[in-house]
Amino acid sequence: MLSDMSDEFLNVATKEINEDLAELKKILAICENDGNVIFNADKLQKHTHKIKGLAPMMGKTHLGEISGALDSLLKTSLDGGDVEGIFDLLSEILPFMASLMIEGTCELSLIKEKISKIENMSN
């Protein structure tokens, strides 16, 4: 019974995260620059926040870390903080996040590099 619930949770969580990643991609597709991203930051942040919470519960800790860093960056932009280069950053990181859902693993140094990029932008 527990295994069935665990499998069901993983299936539902995987579906939800993939939907959130698809929504992030759709929102980014209508953006052309940092200003457009900042204009849509509330919509983007809603999805990064959900992934940040859900990914670690299904064993995707690195995806959760990256989503958490993006979530913080988007909150910074919502609070009026300077986020120059956020469009390019999201364009680079979203495909990487999607690959973490498929492959599940990658070099830890690559993940740390992506998170550092995000954190450096918010400082």
pLDDT digit string, tens, across residues 66-100: 999 999 999 998 898 878 889 999 998 999 899 88
Domain enclosing residue 16, as ranges:
2-121
Q: How confident is the model over 31-79, as pLDDT tens digits?
A: 999 999 999 999 999 999 999 999 999 889 989 999 999 999 999 988 9
Please report which confidence band the pLDDT of residue 2 belongs to, taking 50, 70 and 90 as the band edges: very low
Q: Which token pair is 42? A: 């509330």
Place of tokens 């903080």: 81
- DSSP assignment string, 31-96: --SHHHHHHTHHHHHHHHHHHHHHHHHTT-HHHHHHHHHHHHHHHHHHTT---TTHHHHHHHHHHH
Domain count for the chain, please give it: 1
CATH number at residue 115: 1.20.120
